[in-house]
Amino acid sequence: MRDVYDGTTVLVTGANRGVGAAFADALVELGAKKVYAAARDPETVRSRGVTPVRLDVTDRDQAAALAERLSDVTMVINNAGIHRRASLFDEGVVDVVDSVLRTNLVGTLTVSAAFAPRLVENGGGIIANMLSAGSWLAGPGNLAYAVSKAAALSLTNNMRAELGPRGVQVTAIHAGFIDTDMMAAFPGRKLSPREVAAHALSAIASGAQEVLIDDMSRAAKAASAEPVPPFAAA
């Protein structure tokens, strides 16, 4: 796997903590030529051997300017994301869903649209989108996050259709509960960010364009293919 990442220049979004920091650390260990660790506040980036850069993924002008400056990038990991609890019956549900979509969906699109021409110009490359088992799961309080990840999965599939013929691998990464700030209140077993990054990077190196990290993500995808049951009144 190390040979695949030798000479690779990578941009990782949301790289100041959690899975993003784990990706940045792993890429440095794998011998990537350069790792740009993007965060809204680059001073919060703690990984060694990386180049911190400022990026708010919801800011189109900032993303475009960064793509112009970082013209050597050959791999983008869209990891930045947020989770906000939301229910259909919440008074502010529309605003909550809008804010989560702005980061998890539109932010991924903004960064990808800015850097895709660079990857093509550089002879091809990789875009990896950090999604979730929530791409297929619905549950109480999970409305905003699940909608955003389902939409980001559709975005990823459409990006692959456009970029594959241009030499760009587009990979969707799905995992269940991960031990990050986002899931701090969840008491059950959680994957470590490091194992998620290691598994994902190994699969990407093999050419995988869909990575199902754990049993939860595999079960969620399988369940999504089941027929929708008929309505039964409570």
Compute the distance between CA of residue 200 and CA of residue 211 in angstroms, rounded to an integer: 6
Reported as a single tens digit per residue, the pLDDT across 9-40 is 999 999 999 999 999 999 999 999 999 999 99
**Which pLDDT does position 234 carry in this prediction?**
72
pLDDT band for position 233 (cuts 50, 70, 90): confident
pLDDT band for position 3 (cuts 50, 70, 90): confident
CA terminus-to-terminus distance, the chain: 53
Work out how many domains the chain is built from and give that number: 1
**Which pLDDT does position 225 carry in this prediction?**
94
The CATH number of residue 208's host domain is: 3.40.50.720
| 227 within some domain | no
| 233 within some domain | no
**Which pLDDT does position 1 carry in this prediction?**
61
Q: Does 2 score more than 60 pLDDT?
A: no
DSSP string, 45-83: ---TT-EEEE--TT-HHHHHHHHHH-TT--EEEE-----
**Which pLDDT does position 190 carry in this prediction?**
76
Enclosing domain of residue 172: 2-222
Q: Does 183 score more than 60 pLDDT?
A: no
pLDDT band for position 179 (cuts 50, 70, 90): confident
| 230 within some domain | no
For 55, 110, 130, 230, the CA distances from 63, given in Å and listed in that order, are 7, 7, 18, 45
For 1, 90, 154, 211, the CA distances from 159, given in Å and listed in that order, are 25, 33, 9, 16
| 234 within some domain | no
